[in-house]
Every structure is written in structure tokens, then in C-alpha cells.
Chain A
Amino acid sequence: MSSEFNHDKILLSTSSLNVGYREKRSTISVAEAINFEVKTGELVALIGVNGSGKSTLLKTLSGQIPALSGEVKIDHQLLSGLLDKDLGTYLSLVLTNEPVSRQLTVMELVALGRHPYTNWMGQLSKIDIEKVNKALSQVDLVQKEDKLCDSLSDGQFQKVLIARALAQDTPLILMDEPTTHLDMFHKAYVLQLLKTIVKTSQKSILFASHEINLALQLCDKIILIDEGKVDFGTPSELIQKGAFKTLFPADFIVFDENSKTFRMKIQND
């Protein structure tokens, strides 16, 4: 079903990217020598422990903070060369913990995704409404379009935010922990939804997540940040390399290569 797309098209690539923060006098490098490529129709997970620099990398990729050195290219154009107003047509975001107003209907919030395309008053054209409706049906929220976001569950609201990014209709979607605050079923559901989206549309999704076990089963590629070092490859490539062995302290959590899952090591007292 996905054969109709050109899977060799590279949407996002980095070369010798170095990310971190600039402080008044010094620069604090968080992760170095990052090289990866995201192609059309790929679901890519960004994995790393707390404080490993996932958010910093994501912010750099989305242009919120500048790279310390190296290059980020979106659709073969340098990210640093894109204007603010054009960036919104290349990549869209799904973020957590933003002060998003919930006093909007599902429809209104998703329609805000059309912002880069509407006129100065934000008037929705026929095409805009079509795209919004398509996004709503992709996340299965058509029935709730007139509901106030305030009345939705966390899982449903997450779907609204994903629909907003879909309505923005960009080739690339970056997500920051799209499954936090969700129960196990909704985590699996949302990730499965992302998989379906990339397989049925010419979009690529890169998401930061702590759901390593689910990501290993589902994702096409994984970017693994471990103590400032970055590995990139398909789940099986990374497993073969033994990249997951050192991710967590071995006396607490071990990686079982046969079942491709992390397991807690039961402490005997």
C-alpha cells in the first residue's frame, strides 16, 4: 500500500550536528556529532534517558534554538536559511505542557493548524476546511468536532493536537513525548496511529519518547542518545550493535535481545 510513495526522498537530515545551550560566556554542548536522515513515510523515535538532550535536539530541529555547529536540512534546504513564516509549511509540532487553551472546540483548535495558509483575518478557505476535516477523520474525531476541548480526556486531547499538526499539512511532524500522561492502551493506540499516518500519507514523523519497548516494535528508525553520543539506525541494527546495553544501569534494567524488550531486574533481598 505504501509502494506509491517515493521512499528515497530525504525530508530531514543532519550532518555533524552539535546541539546544546549558549550561556553568557560559555556554550554547553549536550550531544555531538549527530548524523541521521529521515525519509518520506518513516516513523522515527528519538530515545534517551531523562536529561540526555532529547528536548534540546528536538528544539534545534524545529528551529526554536540555534545549532551550536553542523547542519540541519529540511527538504534539502538549510533550516537556518528558512524564514519564520515559511517554516510553518515545512514542519509542524506536537508539544507537551504548552499552555494550550481548552476553551476552544475541537474544530477550532484543529483549524488553527491552517494558520500558515490563511489570509490576514484567518479566514478558512474551502481547501482549508477540507484539510481540517481530513485531519479530524484521520484521528477519528469527526464526531467530537463541536465538543469543547475542556470536556475531552487526555487521550482525546492528544489526538486533537496531532490532528492540528496534520491540518498544518507539512511533510514533517516533530513530536515531543506524544504519549506522556496516557495509559498503556492509549500509548499503544497513539503510536499505532502515528504509524498509520506515515504509511498512508507522504509524511514523516519524528517523536521523542520514553516508550522504548513500543518504539522498538513499531518504528522504522531510532535515534538513540546515550551520554552525549548519538546512534542511528533501524531497531535491529541498533540491537546488533549492542547500543541498548549501556542505556540503563545494568543492575536495574537489562535489555533482552531475543524479545527486543527492556526488563526490570528483580532485586533479591
Chain B
Amino acid sequence: MSKAFINHFLLFIVLLVGIILSLSLGSVSIPFQDILKSLFGLSIENSTWDYIIVNYRLPKTITAILIGSGLAVSGLLMQTLFRNPLAGPYVLGLSSGASLGVAFLIMGASLLSGFFGEFLFSKWAIILSASGGSLVVMLAVLSTAQRVKDTMTLLIIGLMVASLTSAIVSVLAYFSSSNELQLYIFWSFGSLGNLSWQEVGILSICWFIGLSFAIFCLKNLNALLLGENYAKSMGVQLKKNRILIIVSTSILAGSATALAGPIAFVGLAVPHLVRQLVPTNDHRILLPSIILGGAILMLFCDIIAQLPGSESTLPINAVTSIFGAPVVIWLLLRKRKLNF
């Protein structure tokens, strides 16, 4: 346990560094003392700086932590549930499902607005539709995964789901107004910024609920490492457990996708990167490591996305893909070692 403690401590230090960098880097350079002062509620001379930190950088840093850790945890849950090292919310089409949900909401809204009015355009509605979309995809993938145990087949199914959803989105886009289309496209670029404190609050509630479900499943997740037959023989109620895991992943991945757009590869890559550092499959040790690892990765991707010293920002989705795609290739190349 002490080795795990040291690893967690190291990860925590790296996370702190990431948080500090994320708060201090940006298009406007602000002295570090002033950042600290502003964070602790002390007044600083330049009120613009104060505004930038409290209403822009701080919520963005918190968003990065919540979304990075949430996606990473949902990746871990899926990898164990499917007993498949290449499972993850993006690869298996959960993010596409969430996109579809949001597309239906934004572009199909005009049809429904009569019934629901204001509610449709609230962030809760977006989160609900994104989580619902990912839940549907998760259930579909799960029902096929029962029949195929093969890694590659499952990946191809995920790919098909993604192209199916993007086709439906195209059809929706064809029939929607340019306003709605623009709204959807901006959402789909993905961004960690631009979240109000209220939205950060909603995200953290979802994060907390999803993570609670995951913690509740920890013991059974370990049993699942032996395969479903062994797990059942030791008294794991497979169906109940599967539902809990599915709900947890859908809430975590759905809420993250709803508020920050579809973000690729974090869910898939983080569990594997963390396993390199913490070589265990005990979920009681892995879960906190992966929460920290996901948060760290997302913070640094966001720092890179801002292109320090420049005015412009890259879409976060592009940065995680540039980073994540090679990780997947690396995993496939050493496939013989994937008996995880």
C-alpha cells in the first residue's frame, strides 16, 4: 500500500503543478502573486485580472480536472466491463451517441419547443440528451459485445456506431436552420473554456454522482478481472452490477461531452498510461490514480491547446487526438502484452 501511496503523492504533486500552470498561463500574463491574491479573495489593483482569473481561468481549470478525470474513469470502467483493453468512451461511440443526443436537441428543438419551451435550451437539457445518447450507444455496444469477445470486432462496431450517428447528424443538419447548425458545430469543436460557474456546478454534480456509482462498484470490478463466470460464482450480481457501471460511464462521459464537446482518447489512453506507472489492476488503487492521471493529462492538453504566448486557442479535441492516436497505435503494436 505504501508504494501506491507514494505514486498517488507524486501524481498529486504533478497535478498541483498542472493547476498552477493552467492558472498562470494565458493570453494575458498576470504575475503569480496576483493570481494567488485573487484566488484567496484578496483585492488586486487590476480588476480585469481579477475578472479573468475568477470567471475565466479558474472555472476552466476546474472543468479540465472534472472532465479529464471523468472521462478517464469511464474508460477504466468500460475496459474492465468489456474485459477489453481498447474500450473507451470515444472509441466505442459513446461520445458519438452523446453528439447525436445533442444534435437532436439543438436541431430538432424547433419541432418540440412548443411542448418544453425554455427547458430545451438549458444546460440540463443538453446534459440529459448527451447522457441519454451515450446510454443508448452503450447498451447497443454491450448487447453486441455479449456475442463477440474479440477486441477488433468491438472496435469496428464502435467505428460503425460513430459513422451511423454522424450520418444521422448530417440528415438533421440538412433540415435545420443555419443558426441551429452553427450552435451545434461550435459545440462539437469542444472547449473547456466558456463554462459559467453554474455550468461548472452542474458538471461537478454529475461527476460526483458518476464517481459515487463507480466507487460503489469497486469490489465487483475487481471480481470482474477474473471474468464474468468467476465473478458470478463469487456472488457478484452481474446484471445489477452491469447496470451500475453503465449508468456511471454514461453520466461521466455524457456530462463531460455535453459541456465540453466530444473529447477523444482521454478515456482510452489514461488507464493504460497510469498502469505503466502503477502496475496493478486492483481498482481500489487504480481508481484514485486514474482520477489524478486524467486530470493531469487534461490540464496539460489544455495548456498546449492555448499555445502559450499566443492569442489563439486550438480545439481541445484536436490536441487530445494528436496525443491519443499514437497511444492507440502503440497499444495495438504491443498487442501480445494486452492480456491486461
List chain A positions with a Cβ less than 8 A from chain B: 62, 64, 84-89, 91-93, 95, 98-105, 108-109, 112-113, 115-116, 118, 120-122, 148, 150, 164, 168
Contacts and interface: CB of A to CB of B under 8 A. Distances in A.
Contacts of A113: 234
Interface stretch (B44-52, B188-196, B218-226, B301-309): B218-226
B37 interface: no
Of listed A85, A87, A88, A102, residue having the most chain B CB within 10 A: A88
B225 A88 contact: no
A92 B233 contact: yes
B24 to A, nearest CB: 38
A115 B218 contact: no
A93 B230 contact: yes
A116 B226 contact: no
A122 B229 contact: no
25 contacts: A64-B232, A84-B237, A85-B237, A87-B235, A92-B233, A93-B229, A93-B233, A98-B229, A99-B227, A100-B227, A101-B83, A101-B226, A103-B281, A103-B339, A104-B225, A104-B280, A112-B222, A112-B225, A112-B234, A115-B219, A115-B234, A115-B236, A116-B234, A120-B219, A164-B226
Contacts of A112: 222-223, 225-226, 234
Contact of A122 (B218, B227, B237, B275): B218
Contacts, number: 87
Contacts of A98: 226-227, 229-230
Given A84-B237, A113-B234, A116-B235, A108 B282 contact: yes
A116 to B, nearest CB: 5
Given A88-B233, A100-B227, A108-B281, 8 more contacts: A64-B229, A101-B339, A101-B340, A112-B226, A115-B235, A121-B218, A122-B219, A164-B226
B7 to A, nearest CB: 16
Contacts of A64: 229, 232-233
Contacts of B225: 100-101, 104, 112
Interface residues of B, number: 26
Nearest to A108: B282
A215 to B, nearest CB: 23
A109 B234 CA distance: 13
Given A85-B235, A88-B234, A104-B280, A115 B223 contact: yes
A168 B235 CA distance: 11
Given A87-B233, A92-B233, A113-B234, A103 B279 contact: yes
B219 A104 contact: no
Given A101-B340, A103-B280, A121 B235 contact: no
Interface string B66-108: 0000000000000000010000000000000000000000000
Given A118-B219, A120-B219, A104 B281 contact: yes
| Chain A facing B: main interface SS | loop
Interface of B: 83, 149, 216, 218-219, 222-223, 225-227, 229-230, 232-237, 275, 279-282, 284, 339-340
Contact of A84 (B227, B229, B232): B232
A14 B275 CA distance: 46
A95 B237 contact: no
Contacts of A148: 279
Given A93-B229, A98-B229, A108 B234 contact: no
Contacts of B280: 103-105, 108
Contacts of B233: 62, 64, 87-88, 91-93
B234 A102 contact: no
Contacts of A99: 83, 149, 227
A121 B219 contact: yes
A101 B232 CA distance: 16
Nearest to B219: A122
A121 B339 CA distance: 25
A168 B279 CA distance: 25
A70 B105 CA distance: 55
Contacts of A88: 233-235
B284 A102 contact: no
A262 B67 CA distance: 64
A113 B226 CA distance: 10
Contacts of A116: 234-235
A93 B275 CA distance: 29
The 7 A-B residue pairs with the shortest CB-CB distance in the complex, in nearest-first order: A88-B235, A122-B219, A98-B227, A115-B234, A101-B225, A85-B235, A88-B234
A100 to B, nearest CB: 5
Nearest to A120: B219
B290 to A, nearest CB: 15
B340 A100 contact: no
Contacts of B226: 98, 100-101, 109, 112, 164
A107 to B, nearest CB: 10
A86 B235 CA distance: 7
Given A95-B229, A112-B225, A115-B223, A168 B234 contact: yes
Contacts of B149: 99
Contacts of A105: 280
B298 to A, nearest CB: 25
A113 B216 CA distance: 19
Nearest to A113: B234
B215 to A, nearest CB: 9
A163 to B, nearest CB: 13
Contacts of B216: 120
Chain A CB within 10 Å — which of B223, B226, B280, B340 has the most?
Answer: B226
Nearest to B227: A98
